[in-house]
Amino acid sequence: MSAVLSPVEKHVDEAAVTDGFHLVIDALKLNGIHHIYGLPGIPITDLTRKAQAAGLRVFSFRHEQNAGNAAAIAGFLTAKPGVCLTVSAPGFLNGLSALANATTNCFPMILISGSSEREIVDLQQGDYEEMDQLAIAKPLCKAAFRVLHAEDIGVGIARAIRAALSGRPGGVYLDLPAKLFAQTLDAEAGKRSLIEVVDPAPRQIPAPDAVARALTLLKGAQRPLILLGKGAAYARADDEIRRLVERSGIPYLPMSMAKGLLPDTHELCASAARSFVLPEADVVLLIGARLNWLLSHGKGKTWGGKDAKAWGAQKFIQIDISPTEADSNVRIDAPLVGDVGSCVAALLAGMGADWPQAPSAWVQAVAERRDRNVAKMAETLAKDPKPMNFHSALNVVRGIVKANPDAMLVNEGANALDFTRSIVDMHKPRKRIDVGTWGVMGIGMGFAVAAAVETGQPVIAVEGDSAFGFSGMEVETICRYQLPVCIAILNNNGVYRGTDKNLGGGADVAPTVFVKDARYEMLMQAFGGVGVYATTPAELRQAMEDALRSRRPTLINAIIDETAGTESGRITSLNPQRQAAASKP
Ligand code: ADP
């Protein structure tokens, strides 16, 4: 009788020895990792070839930062570490910015880089691409490991997986020196050295007294508010969160990547009443959201200012898997440390059958404010200015997303980001992926590739013309893998807008201005995709519908008014000159 062999067993069965290459590949496969995002070159070219030969899908990019961003968002979308593979020194450094970004955003990711010979690096004798990569990576990620012996590859990858996924997820660096790959090992011993990680993201159950404290606070609230962050989206506790919101009747505000966790059209969604609910709420329940700059650190004008009645009197309950997150900006009255699913389930269990609905005066006040703002927005969206502006273009995207709720939405830019976030409703969880905690530019095409690969759904990428430039060359990657990605560039000829003047009066255009009427759509045509030049909402709509229907790589150059847009979008106040002006007595 012949047993059915797993891929690892088959490989071992066929060869008496294995090597570093195959141990890396087998360890990844054993742990359910079947995609590698990277860029081949010395010393990892053969690893990419052998990985492909062994059945992994290897997605080659044109720049490592984009491969790294793809791996990072793959981690968010699958709750398994996304793997990015790079060459040494410069390739490693390019991938490192994505690793740091992944860590900042709490996305699980492993950056695997080949490296030069330790003996030469440590004596600084000038090796090919010499760099002490491990030391450089350490402060920028959650954990960093190096494997020197082939028999330790299994442990190295297991440690990387655990570090990336357990507790607060994040980025892990794994350093694999060139010499490691060719090291050989008895195949049986090699197989035994691999580890299939058991329960890499253990549930963390909150303490009963912490749950009781949170419930007491919530029960006494007159104006409660739930704030959902991307940690809640990552946690995949969608049903529990919906039950908590609906059982309690508490209005909720989703952070941008938590949009769609409950539909943005839900009757308790307070997105369109943000500036009302933040200062007015008396008890705020944060679920997987940090009180960082995106929430004005929980204080100041956004939260009612020094004189407002709520400021300083507001109470916070915070659900977070990281025990050190509480009190990072303001006092957290009831920290609930644990995973979102377990914490929300514990709150629901503790609420019992007779839990009161949130006070109706408050819920109504929020709804009225929201409905008024939604009506105002509807008026603006109904206009048809010529040329198009952000609103009329995004009104089209809004309709397309509504008609295709399973499509993924990638979004980056300044105004292109801010307007999309507020105009385009999301209808399902984890469909919107964007610039995240850093508000970083350059995630666009990396995110688009991984979103298409990991979900199999069509991807709509709404890009500012400046933002697109950071990763634009990956349209070749999108065409090469024939991914169903539709890029809509909201093109106003520059950073923020295209009308700035050279303050010195010289011949150069202003630093924020690009080539007028640039034909971005031709970039997609150059690689066999569909390029469309769109100047009206009707043309934009037609092109997007065609793209979603055909699933062909498409780039729409949507020409909008070059005077549209404000400096830095909604974060003008963070520019130093504006800060100085604001702080003048
Ligand atoms: P947003 O930008 O949407 O407000 P943040 O990235 O600031 O979200 O916050 C996400 C928070 O979620 C982090 O503090 C992180 O520790 C937490 N988190 C991530 N995954 C989980 C989880 N499974 N359970 C609980 N908290 C989580």
Q: Does residue 565 surpass a pLDDT of 50?
A: yes
What is the Å distance from ligand 1's center to 81 Cα?
16
Phi-psi region of 312 (alpha: psi -120 to 50; beta: other; left: phi over 0): left
Per-residue tokens: 142: 């959650």
Measured from the Cα of 231, ligand 1's closest atom is: 12
pTM summary value: 0.95
DSSP state of 207: P
pLDDT for the residue 574: 80
Q: Which two tokens stand for residue 514?
A: 């690009």
CA 328 to centroid of ligand 1, rounded, Å:
14
Name the packing angle between helices 153-165 and 20-30 (round to 10°). 40
Considering only CA atoms, which residue is closest to atom 18 of ligand 1? 231
Domains 14-193 and 208-368 share a fold: yes
Best residue among 290, 319, 324, 434 to mutate for probing ligand 1's pocket (most ligand atoms within 8 Å of CB) is 290
Residue 581 has pLDDT above 70, yes or no: no
Q: Residue 143 C-alpha to ligand 1 middle, in angstroms? A: 18
**CATH class of the domain at 208-368:** alpha beta
Average pLDDT over residues 457-475: 98
The residue whose CA has the least distance to atom 20 of ligand 1 is 231
- CA 230 to ligand 1 centroid distance, Å: 6
Q: 229 in ligand 1 pocket by Cβ < 6 Å?
A: yes
Tell me the pLDDT tens digit for each residue of 15-42: 699 999 999 999 999 999 999 999 999 9
- Residue 157: which residues within 8 A CB-CB, separation 6 or more? 24, 27, 28, 31, 174, 195
Domain parsing of the chain, residue ranges: 14-193, 208-368, 383-572
Tokens of 147: 């494997």
Query: How confident is the model at residue 583, as a pLDDT?
Result: 54
Whose C-alpha lies nearest to ligand 1, atom 23?
Answer: 235
For domain 383-572, give the CATH number: 3.40.50.970
Average pLDDT of span 311-329 = 93
The answer to whether the CB of 257 is under 6 A from ligand 1 is: yes
Q: How confident is the model at residue 324 (pLDDT cuts 50, 70, 90)?
A: very high
CB 3: neighbour CB atoms within 10 A? Answer: 6
Q: Is the CB of 294 under 6 A from ligand 1?
A: yes
Mutate to test the pocket of ligand 1, among 168, 225, 328, 332 (most ligand atoms within 8 A of CB): 168
pLDDT at 197 over 80: yes
Q: How far is ligand 1, taken at its centre, from the CA of residue 272, in Å?
A: 23
pLDDT above 70 covers a percentage of the chain that reads 95
CB 288 within 8 A of CB 317: no
| Confidence band, pLDDT 50/70/90 cuts, at residue 7 | low
| CB of residue 339 inside a 6 A radius of ligand 1 | yes
Ligand 1 binding pocket includes 540 (Cβ within 6 Å)? no
Distance 349 CA to ligand 1 centre (A): 22
Pocket test of ligand 1: the residue of 78, 103, 106 to mutate, having most ligand atoms within 8 Å of its CB, is 106
Torsion sign (Cα): 330, 332, 336, 340: negative
Residue 311's pLDDT band, with cuts at 50, 70 and 90, is: low
| Residue bearing the CA closest to ligand 1, atom 7 | 290
pLDDT on residue 5: 56
Q: DSSP for 118-154?
A: HHHHHTT---TT---HHHHHGGGSSEEEE--SGGGHH
228 lines ligand 1 (CB under 6 A): no
- Mean pLDDT along residues 257-261: 98
Is residue 344 within 6 Å of ligand 1 at its C-beta? no
β-sheet bridge partners, residue 382: none
- Specify the residue with its C-alpha closest to ligand 1, atom 24: 339
Cα atoms found within 13 Å of the Cα of residue 275, Cβ hemisphere only: 4
User: pLDDT of 50-98, one tens digit each?
Assistant: 999 999 999 999 999 999 999 999 999 999 999 999 999 999 999 999 9
pLDDT at position 567 over 70: yes
Mean pLDDT value of segment 264-275: 98
Provide CB contacts within 8 A for 200, sequence distance 6+. Answer: 161, 162, 165, 166
Residue 306 clears pLDDT 70, i.e. is over it: no
SS3 content of the chain, % helix, strand, coil (to 5): 45, 15, 35
- DSSP H stretches of helix in 406-518: 415-423, 444-455, 465-471, 475-480
pLDDT at 585: 44
- Ligand 1 atom index nearest CA of 436: 2
- Is the distance from the beta carbon of residue 260 to the nearest atom of ligand 1 less than 6 Å? no
Quick: pLDDT tens for 112-152: 999 999 999 999 999 999 999 999 999 999 999 999 999 99
Q: Is the CB–ligand 1 distance for residue 289 below 6 Å?
A: yes
Which of 77, 225, 234 has the most ligand 1 atoms within 8 A of CB, as the residue to mutate? 234
106 lines ligand 1 (CB under 6 A): yes
* C-alpha dist (Å) from residue 167 to 111, 170, 500, 518: 19, 9, 46, 46
Top CATH class of 14-193 equals alpha beta
Q: How far apart are CA 25 and CA 9, in angstroms?
A: 13
* Residue 150 DSSP one-character state: G
- The CA 369 to ligand 1 mean position distance, Å, reads 28
Closest atom, ligand 1, to C-alpha of 325: 14
In short, whether 153's Cβ falls inside 6 Å of ligand 1 is: no
Mean pLDDT of 233-238: 98
Q: Return the number of other C-beta atoms located less than 10 Å from residue 538's C-beta.
A: 11
Please tell me the predicted confidence (pLDDT) of residue 568: 72
If one residue of 230, 241, 261, 344 were mutated to test the ligand 1 pocket, choosing by the most ligand atoms within 8 A of its CB, it would be 230
Given a cut of 90, whether residue 279 has pLDDT beyond it is yes
Q: How far apart are CA 21 and CA 52, in angstroms?
A: 12
DSSP string of 330-399?
Answer: S--SEEEES-HHHHHHHHHHHH-TTPPPPPHHHHHHHHHHHHHHHHHHHHHHH---SSB-HHHHHHHHHH
Q: How confident is the model at residue 312 (pLDDT cuts 50, 70, 90)?
A: low
Ligand 1, atom 22, lies closest to the CA of 339
In whole numbers, what is the pLDDT of the chain averaged over residues? 95
Query: How far is ligand 1, taken at its centre, from the CA of residue 234, in Å?
Result: 8
Q: State pLDDT tens for residues 506-524.
A: 999 999 999 999 999 999 9
Token pair of 573 as six digits: 């106040």
Distance 30 CA to ligand 1 centre (A): 28
Tell me how far the alpha carbon of residue 106 lies from the centroid of ligand 1, in angstroms.
7
> CA 131 to CA 394: how far, in whole Å?
46
DSSP H/E element including 310: none
Report the SS3 class of residue 478. helix
Rounded distance from Cα 232 to ligand 1 centre (Å): 6
For residue 412, list its beta bridge partners: 463
pLDDT tens, position by position, 484-507: 999 999 999 999 888 999 999 999
Task: Answer positive or negative: Cα dihedral of 35, 255, 376, 497.
Answer: negative
Query: What is the amino acid identity at position 103?
Result: T
The encoded tokens of residue 213 equal 């404290």
Element (H, E) at 86: strand 82-86
Tell whether the model's pLDDT for residue 3 goes beyond 90: no
Say which residue, 307 or 415, is predicted with more confidence.
415
- Its sign, for the CA torsion 203, 204, 206, 208, is positive
CA pair distance 462, 439, nearest whole angstrom = 15
Q: What CA–CA distance (Å, rounded) separates 318 from 320?
A: 6
